Structure 1
Amino acid sequence: MVATSLDSRESLMLNYSKAMSNVKELQARGCKVLHEVDVHSMSQHPFLIRVRFDRIIYNFPHAGFFSSERNRLQIWFHQDLVRGFLKNACEMLTAIGEIHVTHKTTFPFNEWKIVELAKEIGLYLVDEEQFSLLDYPG
């Protein structure tokens, strides 16, 4: 298992109180943790360039806050993020690989049109699951 973050290790330590304990727990369980991984170029990351995955998961993608979540430009930034992720993730899959995205489906988040973004690059929706907070303890 590989876990990534866009933030540097130092940025995580400064901005998120539980980040390092989460990183240490992942590593203790045998997970490789990589920092400063951009979804727009992750398929070219030195560690990831030759690795192929059966599952690639993006939990709650968000491009950051530039404006209101309802603002068309803000939505475009989110779509650009997801589009970049999907494009790169495709390059990193095994022949039987799947891409999973955990995402809100209510307005304005449904305006991101993730299924349509996936279709643009040749992906299709296989299944949609209802979110359960119990799947994310802590």
Structure 2
Amino acid sequence: MSKTKTKRARRELKRDANRKIANHQKKLATAAKPTKPSTPASKKQKTTHESQSTGTAAPTPKPHIQASQKHEIPFDTYDNILLVGEGDFSFTRSLAVEHGCANVTATSFDSEEEVQKKYPSFSEIHKELTELMPPVPLHHSIDATKLGAYKVLRAGNSDRGGAWEGWDTVAFMFPHTGGLSTDVNRQARANQALLSSFFSQTLSAHKGRPFLRDGGKVLVALFEGEPYTLWNIRDLARHTGLKVVESYQFDWEDYPGYAHVRTLGAIEGGGAWKGEDRRARMYVFEKVGEKVVEQSKKGKKRARDESESDSDEG
């Protein structure tokens, strides 16, 4: 066995062990957690508002998710996973270390220098991810609206053997263009443009090689409520050509160590709301293979022809 393969095998064994330990601890914590009594409406605390300069509505408080309501984590251990638009890379760390995902590649829109400046937590996370054997690939200055233009992303994780067939999963956690405007509608249009271009890029191909494999998943996490509901993410995905599979309540506890960070960076001295205290949803989309699309078109044509034939006979 080559040195590279030996290192990879050791890394995967370590991640498998960490994942099993994390899952076991989670089960114990869930079993030991007492059921919280409902709080009377008169005693519910008022939710805090974001800064008025962002033009956003009040955050929706995060509810407790019962064990029976929990959704299976959509990241498989050996899937080729691409994370887009990472902030401090704490989500990357959670997948690679806590869940043992062996083929994670992560990107940020900001340069490495900008990430260091925006997020004080990045240095420690970067050290941990780069010390894994082999290290988790981190790429900076990557625009989510131009994914197909980057050769390093078209080739996938070179540490994985076999022919490249495209990414299995591409995820964009809490995308946002930042405070471009105080106008809610203008902000919504800017974020719709961001998501539409991102969806299109996942369906792109280069020299006959797809960016996302047929049947591959595109995942997007968004906060609930306005202004995020104004983005109409399901319609954006459908118009791009992706199949809408499902959406479900996002459980922050499923990803130990993950903390949401602002697009504009950390606020000096702390303050503001925390993403982990808000209700959010995970949206799941799927790339439908060309054969499936062609069969669907033929089926629709056949149904149309039969309908016209019945009309003529009448």
Following superposition of structure 1 onto structure 2, how do residues 74-85 of structure 1 map, counting pairs within 5 Å? 74-85=187-198
Task: Spell out, residue by residue over 1:81-125, the C-alpha distance to the aligned partner (whole angstroms, 9 max, x if none).
Answer: 111111112222112211000112311111011101001111121
Partner-residue secondary structure (3-state), 2:220: strand
Corresponding position: 1:28 with 2:131: yes
Under a length normalisation based on structure 1, what TM-score does the superposition of the two structures give?
0.91
Corresponding position: 1:41 with 2:160: no
1:27 shift after superposition: 2.8
2:242 aligned to which of 116, 123, 130 = 123
Q: Distance in 2 between matches of 1:20 and 1:81?
A: 28
Larger radius of gyration: 2
User: Is there any run of 5+ residues in structure 1 with no aligned partner, and where?
Assistant: none
1:41 shift after superposition: 0.8
Partner-residue secondary structure (3-state), 2:143: coil
Following superposition of structure 1 onto structure 2, how do residues 1-138 of structure 1 map, counting pairs within 5 Å? 1-29=104-132, 30-51=135-156, 52-68=166-182, 71-91=184-204, 92-138=211-257
Partner-residue secondary structure (3-state), 1:61: coil
Cα contact 1:115–1:124 (8 A) shared by 2: no
Partner-residue secondary structure (3-state), 1:101: strand
What count of residue pairs does the alignment treat as equivalent? 137
* Residue identity opposite 2:213 in structure 1: T
| Identity over aligned pairs, percent | 29
Task: Spell out, residue by residue over 1:13-41, the C-alpha distance to the aligned partner (whole angstroms, 9 max, x if none).
Answer: 11210112222323334321000000111
* Residue identity opposite 1:55 in structure 2: T
Cα contact 1:12–1:20 (8 A) shared by 2: no
Cα contact 1:3–1:33 (8 A) shared by 2: yes
* Residue identity opposite 2:118 in structure 1: N
Cα contact 1:66–1:74 (8 A) shared by 2: yes
Cα contact 1:61–1:103 (8 A) shared by 2: yes
Q: Distance in 1 between matches of 2:241 and 2:254?
A: 29
Q: Distance in 1 between matches of 2:203 and 2:126?
A: 26
Partner-residue secondary structure (3-state), 2:241: coil
1:50 shift after superposition: 3.3
Report 1 or 2 for greater relative contact order, CA contacts < 8 Å, sequence distance ≥ 6: 1
Q: Which has the larger displacement, 124-133 or 55-64? A: 124-133
* Residue identity opposite 2:142 in structure 1: V
Structure 1 stretches (4+) deviating beyond 6 angstroms? Answer: none
